[in-house]
Structure 1
Amino acid sequence: MPPGSPRPSPLVEQATEHLRGQILGGQWPVGTKLPGETALAASLGVGRSTVREAVRALAEAGLVRSRQGAGVFVVSTEPHDDLGTRLRRAAVAEVHEVRAVLEVQAARLAAERRTGADVEAMVAALSARRLAADSDDAALVDAAPVDAALVDADIALHAAVVAAAGNPVLTDLFAEFAPALREALAGLADPLGLRAADPATGHAAHAALVAAIASGEVEEAARILDAELSATLARLLRG
Structure 2
Amino acid sequence: MPLVTAKRTGLVDQVIAQMRELVASGEWPLGEKIPPETELVNALGVGRNTVREAVRALSHAGLLEVRQGDGTFVRATNEISGAVRKLCGPELRQVLEVRRALEVEGARLAAGSRTDEDLRELTACLDSRDAAVQRLDSADVIVTDAEFHRLLVAASHNPVLISLYEGIRETVASSVATTFNPEIPPEQHVSHTELLAAVRDGDPRRAAEEAGGFLDELLSQVGSDPGQAEESGQ
For normalisation by structure 1, the TM-score amounts to 0.63
Match of 2:154 among 158, 163, 168: 163
1:199 aligns with 187
1:36-51 alignment to 2 at 5 Å? 41-42=37-38, 46-48=39-41, 49=43
1:132 aligns with 132
Q: Secondary structure at the match of 1:202?
A: coil
- Alpha-carbon shift at residue 184 of structure 1 (Å): 4.4
CA distance in 2, matches of 1:93, 1:57: 30
Match of 1:178 among 169, 186, 190: 169
**Structure 2 spans left out of the alignment, 5+ residues:** 1-19, 62-77, 229-234
1:87-98 alignment to 2 at 5 Å? 87-89=84-86, 90=89, 91-98=91-98
2:133 and 2:186 in contact (8 A); partners too: no
Q: Tell which structure's C-alpha radius of gyration is larger.
A: 1
**Structure 1 spans left out of the alignment, 5+ residues:** 16-40, 64-80, 137-145
Q: Secondary structure at the match of 2:25?
A: coil
Cα RMSD for the two superposed structures: 3.1
**Structure 1 residue 82 and structure 2 residue 79: aligned?**
yes
1:20 aligns with none
Match of 1:234 among 220, 224, 229: 220
2:99 aligns with 99
- Alpha-carbon shift at residue 155 of structure 1 (Å): 0.9
2:81 and 2:169 in contact (8 A); partners too: no
2:110 and 2:156 in contact (8 A); partners too: yes
- The count of residues paired between Structure 1 and Structure 2 equals 178
CA distance in 2, matches of 1:116, 1:59: 43
CA distance in 2, matches of 1:197, 1:124: 23
1:76 aligns with none
- Alpha-carbon shift at residue 180 of structure 1 (Å): 1.7
CA distance in 1, matches of 2:143, 2:199: 21
1:5 aligns with 24
1:69 aligns with none
Q: Secondary structure at the match of 2:157?
A: coil
CA distance in 1, matches of 2:201, 2:55: 45
CA change 1:53–1:173 in 2 (3 A) is farther
